[in-house]
Protein backbone atom coordinates (compact mmCIF):
# COMPACT_ATOMS: atom_id res chain seq x y z
CA UNK A 1 0.00 0.00 0.00
CA UNK A 2 1.12 3.52 -0.62
CA UNK A 3 -0.03 6.98 0.29
CA UNK A 4 -1.97 8.61 -2.57
CA UNK A 5 -3.50 11.70 -0.96
CA UNK A 6 -2.71 14.16 1.84
CA UNK A 7 -6.03 15.85 2.56
CA UNK A 8 -5.87 19.20 4.37
CA UNK A 9 -6.64 22.85 3.73
CA UNK A 10 -3.41 24.52 2.57
CA UNK A 11 -4.78 27.96 3.44
CA UNK A 12 -5.51 26.94 7.03
CA UNK A 13 -2.53 24.63 7.61
CA UNK A 14 0.11 27.32 8.03
CA UNK A 15 2.57 25.65 5.66
CA UNK A 16 5.43 28.05 4.92
CA UNK A 17 7.63 28.24 1.86
CA UNK A 18 10.11 25.99 3.67
CA UNK A 19 7.38 23.40 4.20
CA UNK A 20 6.30 23.50 0.55
CA UNK A 21 9.96 23.15 -0.50
CA UNK A 22 10.15 19.99 1.62
CA UNK A 23 7.05 18.58 -0.12
CA UNK A 24 8.62 19.46 -3.46
CA UNK A 25 11.85 17.62 -2.62
CA UNK A 26 9.89 14.54 -1.47
CA UNK A 27 8.04 14.48 -4.79
CA UNK A 28 11.14 15.08 -6.90
CA UNK A 29 14.63 15.33 -5.39
CA UNK A 30 16.79 16.76 -8.19
CA UNK A 31 20.10 16.47 -6.31
CA UNK A 32 21.02 13.34 -8.30
CA UNK A 33 19.43 10.98 -10.81
CA UNK A 34 19.34 8.28 -8.14
CA UNK A 35 17.57 10.61 -5.68
CA UNK A 36 15.08 11.62 -8.37
CA UNK A 37 14.39 7.97 -9.09
CA UNK A 38 13.78 7.27 -5.40
CA UNK A 39 11.49 10.28 -4.92
CA UNK A 40 7.79 9.70 -4.23
CA UNK A 41 5.84 8.79 -7.36
CA UNK A 42 2.56 7.68 -5.80
CA UNK A 43 1.10 10.80 -4.15
CA UNK A 44 -1.36 12.46 -6.55
CA UNK A 45 -3.02 15.00 -4.24
CA UNK A 46 -1.67 17.31 -1.55
CA UNK A 47 -4.27 19.54 0.05
CA UNK A 48 -7.93 19.93 -0.78
CA UNK A 49 -7.50 23.10 -2.83
CA UNK A 50 -5.04 22.85 -5.71
CA UNK A 51 -5.25 26.61 -6.26
CA UNK A 52 -3.40 27.02 -2.95
CA UNK A 53 -0.76 24.41 -3.81
CA UNK A 54 2.44 25.80 -5.44
CA UNK A 55 2.78 25.24 -9.19
CA UNK A 56 5.91 23.05 -9.01
CA UNK A 57 4.16 20.67 -6.62
CA UNK A 58 1.04 20.53 -8.81
CA UNK A 59 3.26 19.66 -11.79
CA UNK A 60 4.94 16.82 -9.87
CA UNK A 61 1.53 15.53 -8.74
CA UNK A 62 0.36 15.56 -12.37
CA UNK A 63 3.47 13.60 -13.39
CA UNK A 64 2.70 11.04 -10.68
CA UNK A 65 -0.50 10.21 -12.56
CA UNK A 66 1.44 9.40 -15.75
CA UNK A 67 2.80 5.96 -16.52
CA UNK A 68 6.45 5.80 -15.39
CA UNK A 69 6.60 9.11 -13.49
CA UNK A 70 10.21 8.50 -12.42
CA UNK A 71 11.34 8.62 -16.06
CA UNK A 72 9.52 11.91 -16.69
CA UNK A 73 10.96 13.45 -13.54
CA UNK A 74 14.49 12.32 -14.37
CA UNK A 75 14.29 13.76 -17.88
CA UNK A 76 12.77 17.00 -16.59
CA UNK A 77 15.20 17.44 -13.71
CA UNK A 78 18.40 16.31 -15.43
CA UNK A 79 18.49 17.96 -18.85
CA UNK A 80 22.22 17.18 -19.03
CA UNK A 81 21.46 13.43 -19.08
CA UNK A 82 23.03 11.91 -22.21
CA UNK A 83 20.28 9.88 -23.90
CA UNK A 84 22.38 8.70 -26.87
CA UNK A 85 23.34 5.34 -25.30
CA UNK A 86 19.63 4.51 -24.95
CA UNK A 87 19.03 5.10 -28.66
CA UNK A 88 21.65 2.46 -29.48
CA UNK A 89 19.42 -0.11 -27.78
CA UNK A 90 16.50 0.85 -30.03
CA UNK A 91 14.11 0.91 -27.07
CA UNK A 92 10.43 1.48 -27.79
Strands 45-46, 5-6: pairing is parallel
Mean pLDDT of 56-64: 94
Mean pLDDT of 50-72: 91
Q: Is the pLDDT of residue 90 over 90?
A: no
Q: Is the pLDDT of residue 73 over 90?
A: yes
Q: What pLDDT is recorded for position 91?
A: 55
Task: Select from 58, 69, 61 the least CA-distant residue to 43.
Answer: 61
Q: What is the pTM of this model?
A: 0.82
Amino acid sequence: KSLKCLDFDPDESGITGVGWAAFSKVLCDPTSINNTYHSNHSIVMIGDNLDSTPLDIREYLDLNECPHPAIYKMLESHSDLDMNPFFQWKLK
